[in-house]
Amino acid sequence: MSKRTIRLFLVALLVTTAILSAYAAGIGTGWLLLHNKTASAEEATGFSLFWEAWHLVERNFYGDLPDSQHLAWGAIRGALATLNDPHTTFLEPQPRQREKEDLSGRFGGIGAYVTQAEDGSIVLDPMPGQPAEQAGIQKGDVVLKVDDTEITPGMTADQVVALVRGQVGTVARLTLRRQGLAEPFVVEIVRQEILSPSVEWRMLEETAETGYIRITIFSDRTDRELKQALGELTGQGMTHLVLDLRGNGGGLLDAAVDVASEFLDSGPVLHQVEKGEKETTFTARSGGRFTTGPLVVLVDGGTASASEIVVGALQDRGRAIIVGQKTYGKGSVQSVFDLSDGSSVHITSAQWFTPNRRQISGQGLTPDVEVAISDEDRSQGRDPQLERAIELLTTGQ
Amino acid sequence: MSNSVGCKIALTAVIVAVVMGGLGFITGFLTHTVLVAGQPPTPQTIVVQVTVTPAPTLPGLEPTEPPELPQPTPEPTPTPPPTDHAHPAFDLFWETWDLIQEEYYGDLPNEEEVTYGAIRGALNTLGDPFTGFIEPRVAAINREDDSGSFEGIGAYVTMREGRLVIVNTFQDQPAEKAGLRRNDIVLKVDDTPIENMSIYEAITLIRGPAGTQVRLTILREGEEPFEVTITRARIDIPVVESEMREDGIAYVSLFEFSSDASVKLGDAIQPLLAQKPRGLILDLRGNPGGWLNEAVSTAGLFLPRNELVLIERFKDGTERPYHTDKKPLAPDIPLVVLVDGGSASASEIVAGALQDHGRAVLIGEKTFGKGSVQLAHELSNGAELRVTVARWFTPNDRAIHGQGLEPDILVEIGQEDVEAGRDPQLERAVEYLLTGR
């Protein structure tokens, strides 16, 4: 190789290096310039007291310190608490995942109920026709391990559910103990999409022509399930209906409007007021399946939020008789934001009012016919609220 | 020729480098802008939902309350740098708070309150109820009002899962007269919600000059929250009670380690010793602690001079031993110390030292297990931060904190005993001193 070639090669190498470094330096400068701006904006907020305090803790505290993610979560919780709004909350990634599954009405799982037995052990009860049953799991099987995680005595059913659920198509490897078998055994189950119904329905036996529908949560699938319920019941000759919203803590706002739309033919369902006093009125769609027949709605103190939207609309518009106990009284709307690390924050973003502009927050809705239910009724399997509803529908009073 | 080629190449290189540098700068700038601009998340779902929480269940009784801080004098700490980027994950806090500012329907608290809230939330992650923040307003009351610490409602409290719980009420004092009970949860003081506050802030708000009133919102298991108005009073708790029993056993009970506890205890013991008792019972049941130096002096009533009473151990491993420093008043008399789950802090130091030195036999139930030391730091805006900086260990290096001390003779006391006015722990102590077994 000649001297000249070597020199050209060296020059070329130098040039390339210089260009690349300049490029990198440029990226660095551009990034830093902006990054520093955000940093100084934070300092200006007077938040420096936080770091002053935390440095003292880091330097002096006798005990284990949280990692920076848990520190951030703790600080977020503390800051949200200053809003004094119990509905503006922070959810860690795992509970957020559960919430998403609840609201979509579907999740990746094995199709078994997971409960805590009296002795604290976690037992399975397979749903008919679902993967767990097909894999031979029997009612009462005790979970010892999920994949490589041992089930320890302090664990709750919820924690085990989180381990068992996962992406559709992946394998859950369960180590189980069964009464009568000496040794624990291992079952591998491919997770499938499991639907969790939000609506259950039947014709009441006590009386002909009266249907019963219970909605447990306002999920993505509620509208479809309710349509199916109304279709089937109508097909069985239903002309009167009891809609049970007791213990229904709410769910999606759109689902509430959809549900109200099945019983109201157009017209307002709720008014929503956002920040800046911007008002939006949600109206019922036309084409509802049960807009004229006699309707009684059952409510109690656990009837909250999206449920109260439906109840408020049906009551204000004179569409239904409300029976039971005063409702919870939650008249605010939360927007859910997923954060960059998979956790999420629920932020109260609006208030809502019934069609007649009644305020719900802290008040609740008073039923037209108040009927209490006692612990004694419950223990004896009696339901005086449902009995009263049937009476109203059959006698008209 | 090669020179001019070289020059041209060099020149071109410089130009290209400058251009690329510029491009790099723009790319860097844009990347960040895009990242930042790409972040404002759109709400996925509008949720209208509430979980109706069941009535809170009350955990078991865990009496403790440091009536005053243990001894250490606050050491001045150099102020650390006021910002921190050593916690990259903390960006999540700002991500969240930006959303709140944009979306929240309702009034936003001022910056100060938010910062205080964030500090409280961060401290909660430590899981140590004794590391706490005191906001400037409350810290000022603490600093100015010395007498106030003895005027209040007459109740011992502790913090459980962020809530202030009544552990005990004193006989005939305002809290008891107003009907407050063990395990009542205090939700509000006057109109201030105290959930998430540190135990120090909550106590300061409840205390106040005798004759003034305080309105507490109380949560009691199985009941709706209710309000109680209590007139504060000067709380005179007897520090020592003593008795010469007919069976020849001397009995002294110490209720707390107040600033003159060891002197009062000595004054009570001296006349008893003059009657030549067959043994002495020191009752530390329900004694929540107090001043560290009083604990050391109290141990010094029974142990020879220069005996180790406790070891204070700090985060960095440094140790500070505490020794007895006086001629003991009662070095030889057979001694039983009565303890239970309400014996905490200074009580555990005394019991642990006497147990380790073989000077006394512990009878009763396992002690509380509060053996940590807090230092108070004043922050730049007048707020105060109390941080657990050390733990206590007995002379034989047993940890007190979180463990408690096991009695040598376990004797439990049941509800039936209390109702029948029996005290099997005291009876066992007497039996031990009379029979030596």
Q: Does residue B244 surpass a pLDDT of 90?
A: yes
Q: Give residue B21's pLDDT.
A: 56
For the ranges A263-267, B145-149, B253-257, the lowest mean pLDDT is seen at: B145-149
Q: Over pLDDT 90: what percentage of chain A?
A: 68
Give the number of other Cβ atoms within 10 Å of residue A5's Cβ: 9
Q: Over pLDDT 70: what percentage of chain B?
A: 78
Q: What is the pLDDT of residues B321-362, one digit of tens each?
A: 999 999 999 999 999 999 998 898 999 999 999 999 999 999
> Between B6, B20, B391, which is nearest A22 by CB?
B20
Chain A residues within 8 A of B389 when measuring between CB atoms = 60-62
- The pTM (predicted TM-score) of the whole model is 0.72
> Between B13, B93, B104, which is nearest A348 by CB?
B104
Chain A residues within 8 A of B36 when measuring between CB atoms = 34, 38
Q: Give residue B428's pLDDT.
A: 97
B161 vs A322 pLDDT, higher one = A322
Q: What is the pLDDT of residues A18-29, one digit of tens each?
A: 566 665 665 555
Inter-chain CB proximity B124 and A77 less than 8 Å: yes
| B177 catalytic per annotation | no
Q: Give residue B154's pLDDT.
A: 86
Residue of B nearest to A75 (CA): B118
Q: What is the four-CA torsion angle of B53, B58, B59, B64, rounded to 10 degrees?
A: 130
Give yes or no for a contact between A355 and A271, defined as CB atoms under 8 angstroms apart: yes
List, as one string, the DSSP characters of B96-115: HHHHHHHH--SPPPPHHHHH
Confidence label for A5 from pLDDT (cuts 50, 70 and 90): low
Inter-chain CB proximity B43 and A83 less than 8 Å: no
Mean pLDDT of B297-323: 95
Residue of B nearest to A217 (CA): B49
Chain B residues within 8 A of A332 when measuring between CB atoms = 48, 105
Q: What is the pLDDT of residues B42-83, one digit of tens each?
A: 343 344 443 332 222 222 222 333 333 444 433 444 444 445
A281 vs B27 pLDDT, higher one = A281
ipTM rounded to 2 decimals = 0.75
Element (H, E) at A231: helix A222-235
Inform me whether the C-beta atom of residue B368 falls under 8 Å from chain A C-beta atoms.
Answer: no
Confidence label for A364 from pLDDT (cuts 50, 70 and 90): very high
Q: Give residue B79's pLDDT.
A: 43
Inform me whether the C-beta atom of residue B17 falls under 8 Å from chain A C-beta atoms.
Answer: yes
A178 vs A102 pLDDT, higher one = A178
Q: Which residue of the set A219, A305, A307, A343 is catalytic?
A: A305
> Between B79, B89, B128, which is nearest A72 by CB?
B89
Give yes or no for a contact between B336 and B432, defined as CB atoms under 8 angstroms apart: yes
For B12, residues 6+ apart whose C-beta sits below 8 A from its C-beta are: A15
Q: Give residue B305's pLDDT.
A: 96
Distance from CA of B85 to the nearest CA of A (A): 9
Q: Does residue B181 surpass a pLDDT of 60?
A: yes
Q: Does residue A131 surpass a pLDDT of 70?
A: yes
Interface of B with A in 115-144 (CB under 8 A): 115-128, 131, 133
Confidence label for B5 from pLDDT (cuts 50, 70 and 90): low
Residue of B nearest to A342 (CA): B92
Over chain B, what is the mean pLDDT? 81
Q: Give residue B8's pLDDT.
A: 64
Helix-helix angle A253-263:A222-235, to 10 degrees: 20
Mean pLDDT of B125-134: 90
Confidence label for B290 from pLDDT (cuts 50, 70 and 90): confident
| A305 catalytic per annotation | yes
Chain A residues within 8 A of B112 when measuring between CB atoms = 46
Q: Collapsing DSSP states into helix, strand and coil, what is residue A254?
A: helix
Q: What is the pLDDT of residues A340-354, one digit of tens each?
A: 998 999 999 999 999
Chain B residues within 8 A of A337 when measuring between CB atoms = 41, 43-44, 99, 103
CA A268 to chain centre: 26
